[in-house]
């Protein structure tokens, strides 16, 4: 038995430190590293199945070439040399005939390892001049909304949150999506803190909280403004702090007059008493913090609503105290030298850009067409909206698709070439978190399985074949880690690769009260209650409630339900949905429906129901429960297509429409009908 250490690479805020047990050179157990200040020996239910992920039957082990029709699943094993030569030959021909924009890279955060997520790949596609991908599928709108207020994406160190006396989980299902935030909140609760959840779904976090506010989708901005109305009416604000730190307050105060409790009750589905109680407990508990989630911003008005919520801790002066304020993301604390990693200077000219959310439209409608798609770190056949269009695109015989994957995903099935990649236990990488503030480094724990090769290695080899001579295309992982760490930012002073190797994880220097003395990265240098930038982005200059394009205020007898499809407890986006032990625990794809709606439609518990709109239809099992409001449906999880009765997944129903700011996704602003199947 041998013990080694690693880091969980998945797209999750917790970025856990792993203890990995090996027997005869094989990984037999993955658990939490007790020494890591945030992980504290605890990891989620998913990661514990890592040995099955590494050694499971779904693992891609060799380069494979398609032999049958697209999507038939017929492939033959080929060598790396052959695979890389084929890519080079086909791309060179495409470039000669159509130019490099005929090629589209498609990736997201399959790994959060800095080097394998966005490094050599970016250099390669910059130099190639390929069509550029706007990577906005996850959190673009909310991140920009938060930045409208504070200018950058940082809050406080979550470890300091244990000092709080009130914690609001707003549009975040922390118990399932940010486990260690829930564990820290529990510590605060033991010291007397109260936990409140504001959500459209009585999820696990809501059931565990002290108080729960079940609101209508897309009504968060109205609720935040309604709370502000009461804080101002009662003078529960920190005048002195506000005077020094914010701009636009007067105009904001006038705007909140449009959000009296009666109106906010109508918009949110809450009672006036509930809104009054929420404002009171928020104002009078100190310190208080709001953990702002990703769920609430997957809407047409997600950027605006995040901005509105972000302003509440400024009104009460919550930032004055340790553990007070807000936490959206902390990516802004990691001062890596991204330019050195990604080398945007290699880009000549300005290739066209396409939004990753609109992959389906891109593959079926864009002219001149994309003729080759290179997918890595993502499973778009499952996760991207307008799934029918995505699949239609992937079926195109004239599209040369390469998928670099660890496992045989839905997307891999449609590829011309499938290339095997290493897992994080088989390659080295540097890890940041978008929530905690600890930098980590992991060495490989086992050799690569089969013939798998890491992202950095494959892009290095492709660069060589394409004749790219810039020395940066020969950089190793270690070279790139050093380049990333060579930054002038004070938070990273003294952090070297050598130290990281020695210590595995190093906390950044983060102020205890980061915004106590205001110096904000906004245009005005203050927290912006009124924002010029917002108007440039197409919003109103002051936060306001805007109805969803597809939501409760626009529903009709033809499309009466707003469908929410948040992450599943047992999967990480679509990752892990291939592990039998986890899919068994997860059961089958379900949809939660309010008892009144179910009764009206003659639907009972466990019925097969058809959820549909103009984009597609999906068969799900009904769960009749007051976990949702009337008119709202919740279908948790992005499953692989084989788990859905008719093969189409939840994203057959979601729109590739772009949200209010940041070109973000509107996964949860979707109207549907439901009927017994
Ligand atoms: N187990 C697990 N963990 C994960 C993931 C996973 O797939 N599985 N995915 C990871 C990724 S990539 C991300 S981005 C994060 C996301 O994690 P979170 O930040 O928790 O976001 P979601 O789970 O998308 O949504 C959170 C909650 O918002 C609710 N919601 C939807 N619409 C609204 C609304 O209009 N208002 C309010 N107040 N609430 C609303 C949803 O019902 C859900 O309960 O989780 C990460 N962690
Ligand atoms: N309906 C609905 N759809 C959603 C969401 C939702 O809540 N509801 N959530 C959205 C959100 S927030 C997000 S972030 C996206 C996430 O969408 P994706 O980024 O596509 O996430 P995953 O489904 O986890 O797919 C990641 C893939 O990367 C692969 N991978 C992991 N490590 C490596 C590596 O080192 N190299 C290579 N080449 N591949 C690797 C994994 O095997 C996995 O198949 O989904 C979005 N889609
Ligand atoms: Mo995400």
Residue 248 domain-assigned (yes or no): yes
Summarised one tens digit per residue, pLDDT across range 460-492 is 999 999 999 999 999 999 999 999 999 877 667
Which of 155, 328, 567 is the best mutation target for the ligand 1 pocket, counting ligand atoms within 8 Å of the beta carbon and taking the most?
A: 567
Summarised one tens digit per residue, pLDDT across range 497-552 is 999 999 999 999 888 998 887 789 999 999 999 999 999 999 999 999 999 999 99
Closest ligand to 201 CA?
1
The ligand 2 atom at the shortest distance from the C-alpha of residue 651 is 1
H/E element, 671: strand 671-676
- Mean pLDDT, all residues of the chain: 97
Q: Do 596 and 616 have their domain in common?
A: yes
455 ligand 2 Cβ < 6 A = yes
Summarised one tens digit per residue, pLDDT across range 235-288 is 999 999 999 999 999 999 999 999 999 999 999 999 999 999 999 999 999 999
Contact in structure between 429 and 111 (CB atoms under 8 Å): yes
Residue 391 domain-assigned (yes or no): yes
The dihedrals phi and psi of 3, each to the nearest 5 degrees, come to -115, 130
Structure tokens that stand for 626 in this block: 């007051």
Q: Do 658 and 578 have their domain in common?
A: yes
CA dist 561 and 456 (Å) reads 45
Q: How far is the CA of 565 from the centre of ligand 2 (A)?
A: 15
670 ligand 2 Cβ < 6 A = no
Q: How far is the CA of 327 from the centre of ligand 2 (A)?
A: 23
Residue 55 domain-assigned (yes or no): no
Closest CA to 264 of 211, 221, 315, 206: 221
CA dist 563 and 606 (Å) reads 18
CA dist 175 and 207 (Å) reads 10
What is the CATH number for 308? 3.40.228.10
What is the CATH number for 344? 3.40.50.740
Q: Do 110 and 190 have their domain in common?
A: no
Pick the residue whose CA is nearest to atom 36 on ligand 1: 296
Residue 123 domain-assigned (yes or no): yes
Which of 12, 108, 386, 435 is the best mutation target for the ligand 2 pocket, counting ligand atoms within 8 Å of the beta carbon and taking the most?
A: 108
597 ligand 2 Cβ < 6 A = no
Final residue in a domain of this structure, among 478, 503, 536 = 536
pLDDT, average across residues 669-674: 98
Residue 182 domain-assigned (yes or no): yes
Q: Do 103 and 178 have their domain in common?
A: no
Pick the residue whose CA is nearest to atom 12 on ligand 1: 11
Q: Is residue 272 classed exposed, middle or buried when 0-12, 13-18 and 19+ CB atoms within 10 A define those classes?
A: middle
Q: Do 309 and 386 have their domain in common?
A: no
Residue 48 domain-assigned (yes or no): no
Question: DSSP letters of 148-177?
Answer: HHHSSS----GGGGGG-SEEEEES--HHHH
Query: Is residue 641 predicted with pLDDT exceeding 90?
Result: yes
CA dist 456 and 453 (Å) reads 8
Query: Is residue 662 predicted with pLDDT exceeding 80?
Result: yes
Query: Is residue 615 predicted with pLDDT exceeding 80?
Result: yes
Q: Do 475 and 571 have their domain in common?
A: no
The ligand 1 atom at the shortest distance from the C-alpha of residue 568 is 8
Q: How far is the CA of 578 from the centre of ligand 2 (A)?
A: 13
Helix axes 272-284 and 261-268, enclosed angle (nearest 10): 110
Residue 5 domain-assigned (yes or no): no
CA angle 579, 667, 45 (to 5 degrees): 30
358 ligand 2 Cβ < 6 A = no
Q: How many domains does the chain have?
A: 3
pLDDT, average across residues 559-573: 97
pLDDT, average across residues 205-231: 98
Residue 544 domain-assigned (yes or no): no
405 ligand 2 Cβ < 6 A = yes
Q: What residue ranges line ligand 1, CB within 6 angstroms?
A: 11-12, 138-139, 170-173, 176-177, 198-201, 203, 215, 217-218, 220, 293-296, 299, 564, 566-569, 571-573, 634, 668
CA dist 358 and 389 (Å) reads 9
Which of 383, 408, 649 is the best mutation target for the ligand 2 pocket, counting ligand atoms within 8 Å of the beta carbon and taking the most?
A: 383
Pick the residue whose CA is nearest to atom 47 on ligand 1: 177
The ligand 1 atom at the shortest distance from the C-alpha of residue 575 is 7
Q: Do 322 and 357 have their domain in common?
A: no
Q: Do 529 and 583 have their domain in common?
A: no
Structure tokens that stand for 269 in this block: 């589905």
* pLDDT at site 150: 97
Q: Do 82 and 178 have their domain in common?
A: no
Helix axes 455-465 and 120-128, enclosed angle (nearest 10): 30
Q: How far is CA 466 from the centre of its chain?
A: 33
pLDDT, average across residues 225-244: 97
The dihedrals phi and psi of 201, each to the nearest 5 degrees, come to -140, 130
Contact in structure between 561 and 672 (CB atoms under 8 Å): yes
Pick the residue whose CA is nearest to atom 45 on ligand 1: 177
Summarised one tens digit per residue, pLDDT across range 19-44 is 999 999 999 999 999 999 999 999 99
Pick the residue whose CA is nearest to atom 41 on ligand 2: 110
Domain that holds residue 89: 64-135+335-430+447-490
Q: Do 201 and 258 have their domain in common?
A: yes
* pLDDT at site 490: 67
Summarised one tens digit per residue, pLDDT across range 113-141 is 999 999 999 999 999 999 999 999 999 99
Which of 15, 140, 200 is the best mutation target for the ligand 1 pocket, counting ligand atoms within 8 Å of the beta carbon and taking the most?
A: 200
CA dist 359 and 475 (Å) reads 31
* pLDDT at site 488: 75
140 ligand 2 Cβ < 6 A = no
* pLDDT at site 567: 96
Q: Do 204 and 299 have their domain in common?
A: yes
What is the CATH number for 569? 2.40.40.20
Structure tokens that stand for 148 in this block: 């409208």
Q: How far is the CA of 603 from the centre of ligand 1 (A)?
A: 27
Burial call 152-184: b when 16+ CB within 10 Å, e when fewer = ebbbbbbbbbbbbbbbbbbbbbbbbbbbbbbbb
Q: Do 199 and 251 have their domain in common?
A: yes
């Amino acid at each position: 038995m041998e013990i080694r250490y690693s880091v969980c690479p998945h797209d999750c805020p917790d970025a856990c430190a792993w203890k990995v047990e090996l027997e005869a050179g094989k990984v037999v157990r993955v658990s939490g590293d007790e020494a890591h200040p945030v992980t504290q020996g605890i990891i989620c239910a998913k990661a514990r199945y890592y040995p099955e992920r590494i050694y499971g039957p779904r693992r891609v082990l060799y380069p494979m070439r398609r032999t049958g029709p697209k999507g038939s699943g017929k492939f033959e094993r080929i060598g790396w040399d052959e695979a890389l030569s084929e890519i080079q030959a086909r791309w060179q021909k495409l470039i000669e005939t159509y130019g490099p924009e005929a090629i589209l890279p498609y990736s997201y955060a399959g790994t959060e390892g800095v080097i394998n997520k966005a490094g050599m790949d970016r250099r390669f596609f910059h130099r190639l001049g390929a069509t550029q991908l706007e990577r906005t599928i996850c959190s673009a709108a909310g991140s920009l909304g938060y930045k409208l207020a504070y200018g950058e994406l940082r809050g406080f160190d979550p470890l300091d949150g244990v000092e709080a006396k009130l914690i609001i989980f707003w549009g975040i299902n922390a118990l399932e999506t940010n486990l260690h935030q829930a564990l820290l909140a529990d510590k605060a609760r033991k010291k007397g803190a109260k936990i409140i959840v504001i959500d459209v779904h009585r999820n696990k976090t809501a059931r565990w909280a002290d108080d729960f506010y079940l609101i209508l989708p897309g009504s968060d901005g109205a609720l935040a403004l309604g709370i502000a109305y009461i804080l101002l009416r009662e003078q529960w604000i920190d005048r002195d702090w506000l005077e020094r730190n914010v701009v636009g307050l007067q105009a904001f105060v006038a705007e909140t007059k449009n959000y009296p409790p009666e109106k906010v009750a109508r918009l949110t589905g809450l009672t006036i008493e509930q809104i009054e109680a929420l404002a009171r407990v928020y104002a009078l508990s100190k310190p208080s913090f709001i953990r702002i989630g990703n769920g609430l911003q997957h809407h047409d008005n997600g950027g605006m609503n995040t901005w509105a919520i972000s302003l509440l801790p400024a009104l009460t002066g919550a930032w004055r105290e340790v553990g007070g304020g807000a936490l959206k993301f902390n990516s802004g604390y990691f001062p890596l030298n991204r330019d050195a990693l990604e080398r945007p200077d290699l880009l000549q000219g300005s290739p066209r850009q396409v939004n990753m959310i609109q992959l389906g439209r891109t593959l079926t409608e864009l002219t001149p067409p994309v003729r080759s798609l290179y997918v890595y770190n993502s499973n778009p056949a499952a996760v991207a909206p307008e799934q029918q269009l995505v699949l239609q695109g992937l079926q195109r015989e004239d599209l040369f698709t390469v998928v670099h994957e660890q496992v045989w995903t839905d997307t891999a099935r449609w590829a011309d070439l499938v290339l095997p990649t290493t897992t994080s236990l088989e390659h080295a990488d540097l890890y940041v978190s978008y929530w905690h503030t600890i930098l980590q480094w992991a060495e490989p724990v086992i050799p690569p399985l089969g013939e798998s090769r890491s992202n950095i290695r494959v892009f290095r080899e492709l660069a060589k074949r394409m004749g790219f001579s810039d020395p940066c295309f020969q950089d190793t992982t270690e070279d790139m880690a050093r380049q990333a760490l060579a930054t002038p930012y004070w938070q990273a002073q003294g952090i070297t690769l050598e130290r990281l190797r020695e210590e595995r994880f190093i906390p950044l220097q983060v102020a205890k009260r980061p915004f106590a003395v205001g110096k904000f990265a906004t245009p005005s240098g203050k927290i912006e209650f009124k924002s010029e930038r917002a108007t440039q982005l197409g919003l109103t200059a002051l936060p306001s409630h805007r109805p969803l394009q597809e939501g409760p205020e626009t529903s009709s007898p033809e499309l009466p339900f707003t469908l929410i499809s948040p992450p599943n407890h047992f999967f990480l986006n679509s990752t892990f949905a291939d592990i039998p032990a986890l899919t068994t625990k997860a059961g089958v794809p379900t949809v939660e429906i309010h008892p009144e709606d179910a009764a009206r439609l003659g639907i009972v518990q466990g019925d097969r129901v058809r959820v549909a709109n103009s984009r597609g239809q999906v068969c799900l099992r009904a769960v009749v429960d007051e976990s949702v409001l009337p008119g709202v449906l919740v279908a948790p999880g992005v499953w692989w297509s084989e788990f859905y009765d008719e093969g189409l997944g939840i994203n057959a129903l979601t729109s590739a429409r772009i949200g209010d700011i940041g070109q973000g996704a509107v996964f949860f602003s979707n109207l549907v009908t439901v009927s017994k199947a």
